Amino acid sequence: MSAALEGYLAHLTVERGLAPHTLAAYRRDLTRYVEHLRSAGRATPGEITERDVEDYVLVLRTGSDGRAVLSPASAARSVVALRGWHRFLALDGLAPTDAAAQVRPPAQPKRLPKAISVEAVGRLIDAAGIGDGPVPLRDRALLELVYSTGARISEAVGLDVDDLELAPDRAAVRLLGKGSKERVVPVGSFAAEAVEAYLVRARPALAAGGRGTAAVFLNTRGARLSRQSAWAVLRTAAERAGLDGAEHVSPHTLRHSFATHLLAGGADVRVVQELLGHASVTTTQVYTLVTPDTLREVYAASHPRAR
């Protein structure tokens, strides 16, 4: 069982090119699944039945194995992981059939992504740039760029200097997304100016403490800024800006706000899909769900007896 699991993870690494944190999540999910199978007396992949898979989905919902009950999103991810493994086992001849072929991930409630207003984004970015020295210039440039491009935080901190094109009227950035898929995204003038100011006035000072790296965003030791440090930058700026629910502001908040504000401004959903790097437009369409505020505004403006 362990050898079959390691073979699948190696396949995901080499053939699929999954990111390290995605692989770590798959390993956690599948390790728990294998432990469940062993407790049920299954010693090899060929012994697993569809009933075993269904029983495990129930375990995820109830925590009957003594582990945490997973949220609907986490449970769905876990089921996707085991479905992929069973498909791999069948194709590789390690199991006679795909035991998970008919098992579906638990349904998830549709929720609007959390976004903040345009005014709140401005306050957030301004708060990040408060202070003297190179760090405030870096923090402002980072948040301006993430909001301007809709980049994932991992994509932003993974940028190298050669990925930037900051020429006036055609500023753009090359982002490396999930599955190592590249996309080129325009950069707005506010972000281009902030990044240019950082590169000229701040990055050289930060780079002086390191061994030389092509990374755009550097920490105070001159090395590439980590995802965790970038998260801390955002959290600190949100608290400093006095945003409501600052403790819940995450790097994805700016990405969600980017998409929401574009669609509110009239952008086509397929254009937003390309900018976000979504493989399917279905993923992007969650941003088009009508909010209660929008319903009230349209009703008030359109119904003859609304006012």
pLDDT digits (tens, 9 = 90+) for 263-275: 888 888 889 898 9
Q: What is the average pLDDT across 125-146?
A: 96
78 and 143 fall within a common domain: no
pLDDT of residue 63: 87
The CA dihedral of 109, 112, 113, 114, to the nearest 10 degrees, is -120
pLDDT band at 277 (very low <50, low <70, confident <90, very high): confident
74 and 162 fall within a common domain: no
Is there a domain that residue 188 lies in? yes
228 and 125 fall within a common domain: yes
Average the pLDDT over each of 62-66, 122-126, 213-217 and give the range with the smallest value.
62-66
pLDDT over threshold 80, residue 281: no
**This prediction's pTM:** 0.65
**pLDDT, tens digit (0-9, with 9 covering 90-100), for 248-261:** 888 888 998 999 89
pLDDT of residue 292: 61
pLDDT over threshold 80, residue 84: yes
Residue 25: CATH number of its domain: 1.10.150.130
Per-position DSSP letters for 45-85, written without gaps between them: GGG--HHHHHHHHHHHHH-TTSSPPPPHHHHHHHHHHHHHH
Is there a domain that residue 264 lies in? no
Q: How large is the greatest C-alpha to C-alpha distance in the chain, in angstroms?
A: 70
Identify the domain boundary among 244, 268, 295. 244
76 and 125 fall within a common domain: no
Is there a domain that residue 138 lies in? yes
In this structure, how many other beta carbons lie within 10 angstroms of the beta carbon of residue 15? Answer: 9
Averaged pLDDT score across all residues of the chain: 89
Is there a domain that residue 281 lies in? no
Instruction: List residues bridging with 168 in a β-sheet.
Output: none
Q: What is the average pLDDT across 167-183?
A: 87
Q: Which domain holds residue 53?
A: 2-91
Sign of the alpha-carbon torsion through 162, 175, 80, 65: positive
123 and 240 fall within a common domain: yes
What is the CA angle 46-52-56, rounded to 5? 130
Token pair recorded at residue 6: 């390691």
Identify the domain boundary among 216, 244, 272. 244
pLDDT band at 19 (very low <50, low <70, confident <90, very high): confident
pLDDT of residue 293: 67
pLDDT of residue 291: 58
pLDDT above 90 coverage of the chain, percent: 58
pLDDT over threshold 60, residue 290: no
pLDDT above 70 coverage of the chain, percent: 94
- Cβ atoms of 259 and 149 within 8 Å: the answer is no
14 and 87 fall within a common domain: yes
Residue 142: CATH number of its domain: 1.10.443.10
Residues annotated as catalytic are 152, 178, 252, 255, 278, 287
Q: What is the average pLDDT across 105-128?
A: 82
- As a whole number of angstroms, the distance between CA 89 and CA 76 comes to 20
Tell me 236's DSSP state: H
Domain count, the chain: 2
pLDDT over threshold 80, residue 306: no
Q: Which residue has the higher pLDDT, 242 or 114?
A: 242
pLDDT band at 294 (very low <50, low <70, confident <90, very high): low
146 and 229 fall within a common domain: yes
Closest CA to 143 of 195, 101, 82: 195
